[in-house]
Amino acid sequence: SQAEKGGFPHFMLKEIYEQPEAIRDTLRGRLDPESGRVDLSDAALSPEFFEGLRKIFFVACGTSYHAGLVGKYLLEALAGIPVEVDLASEFRYRDPLVDEGTLAVVISQSGETADTLAGLRLARDKGARVLGIVNVLGSTIAREAHRVIYTHAGPEIGVASTKAFTSQLTVILLLALYLGGLSGRLSPERARLLARELVEFPGLLQKLIPKVHPLLKELSEHYFRQENFLYLGRNILFPVALEGALKLKEISYIHAEGYAAGEMKHGPIALIEESVPTVALAPRESGVVYEKMVSNIEEVRSRRGPVLAFGTQGDEHLAGLSTDFVGLPPVSWEISPLLYTVPLQLFAYEMAVRRGCDVDQPRNLAKSVTVE
C-alpha cells in the first residue's frame, strides 16, 4: 500500500532513499571514528577467529556476488590477504580449494538463497571458518554460519537489491578495516581517516540523492528507448559497473552488459554505434585508471557511441568528452563503490518507470531464490 511505501511510488525508490539510514545502522556501534578501530563483538568476532587465516573466499549470487567482488579489491589492498570470489552456483559444483586456513564469507540479503546455502555447507564440511554477511535475522544462512555480521539494512521489499547491497559493501569495508588493523598493513592514521570518511558518508549521501535524482530522471528521457547498454568501470568500480548493468536489465528489461573497460578492445567495442550507449565510471581520484577510462571514453565517442559518464564534480575535461555527465563529490578509493552505486540505481529506476515496467516485481524474478 501507499502507506507502506512511505509516500514513494515504489518500494525500490523508498529503499534507494533509505540508504543513508541503512548505512548508518550498519555502522552503528561498530566503528570508532576517533581511533579508527572496528568492533565486531556484536558478531562474536575477535582476533582469535581469524588466526592462521591464509585465504578468503567470497561466495554469493547476483548483487551479493558483486559485493564480494568489491571485497576482493578491499581486502587484498587493506589487509593483504589473498581473496577469491565465486558465484555460489559454481563454487558448490567444482571442488574448490578450501581448508582450515580458509575463511569463507557468504553474502546474502535473504539468507535463504539455495546455492549460497549449499556453498556455505560445502565450505564448512571442508573445514573452513564460515562468516555470513546477512540481512534477514535468523535466516538459514545466518543460523548455519559460524559467525554472522548482520547488515541491519531493514526489510528490503523491492526485488532489485539496493540498500542491502550498499549495507553489504559497508560491512565488507568494516571487515577490511578490521583485518587491515590485525595484519598491520593498514596504518592507524589511514584507518582513522577512512573511519572518519565512512562515518560522514551517510550525511553526504543524504544530501546527494535528492540532488542527483532529478538529473537522472531527466537523463532517462534521452536514453529509455535504447535496447542495449554497456557499463564500463575499472579496478574497484568494475564490480559497480556489473551491478549497474544488472539493475538496468532486471527492472527495465534492457540488455546491459558490465565490462572491465580494459576489455573493450577484446570484443565489446564491436558493438559500439549510435544506438548503443555506454555508461562509464571515471572518478578523477582513481589515479592511473582515470586516464585509461578517459581513453576508453574517447574510443567510444570516436565510434559515435553516446557516453553517459559518472565522474568527479567539476571535471570539465570528462564532461566535455562525454555526451552526458553526472558529477559526484570526491571520495576515497575505498568509499567510491558505495557512492557510484547509488546514481546507477536511480538511473535504472527512472528508465524502468519510463518504460512502464513493474519496478518492484519484475517478470520472472523472485526476491529470494530458494531453489536452484
Active site residues: 367
What is the Cα–Cα distance from 282 to 36, expressed in whole angstroms? 28
CB of residue 128 vs ligand AGP: minimum separation in angstroms? 19
CB of residue 353 vs ligand AGP: minimum separation in angstroms? 16
Unique residue bearing C-alpha cell 563483538: 41
At 275, give phi and psi (nearest 5°): -95, 10
What is the Cα–Cα distance from 140 to 125, expressed in whole angstroms? 16
Q: Tell me the three cell numbers of residue 239.
A: 564490480
CB of residue 362 vs ligand AGP: minimum separation in angstroms? 8
Nearer to ligand AGP, 63 or 312 (CB): 63
Contacts with ligand AGP, residue ranges (CB under 6 A): 61-64, 108-110, 113, 116, 159-161, 250, 365, 368-369
Nearer to ligand AGP, 159 or 300 (CB): 159
CB of residue 243 vs ligand AGP: minimum separation in angstroms? 8
Which residue is nearest to ligand AGP, using beta carbons? 62
Tell me which residue of 308, 336, 300, 337 sits closest to 216, measured CA to CA.
Answer: 308
- Residue 218: half-sphere exposure toward Cβ, Cα within 13 Å: 8
Residue 133: partners with Cβ closer than 8 Å, 6 or more residues away: 64, 67, 105, 106, 107, 108, 148, 149, 151, 168, 171, 172
Nearer to ligand AGP, 110 or 170 (CB): 110
- Strand blocks (E) in 96-223: 102-108, 129-134, 147-150
At 134, give phi and psi (nearest 5°): -135, 150
What is the Cα–Cα distance from 206 to 216, expressed in whole angstroms? 16
Nearer to ligand AGP, 26 or 63 (CB): 63
What is the Cα–Cα distance from 182 to 338, expressed in whole angstroms? 24
Nearer to ligand AGP, 20 or 158 (CB): 158
CB of residue 363 vs ligand AGP: minimum separation in angstroms? 12
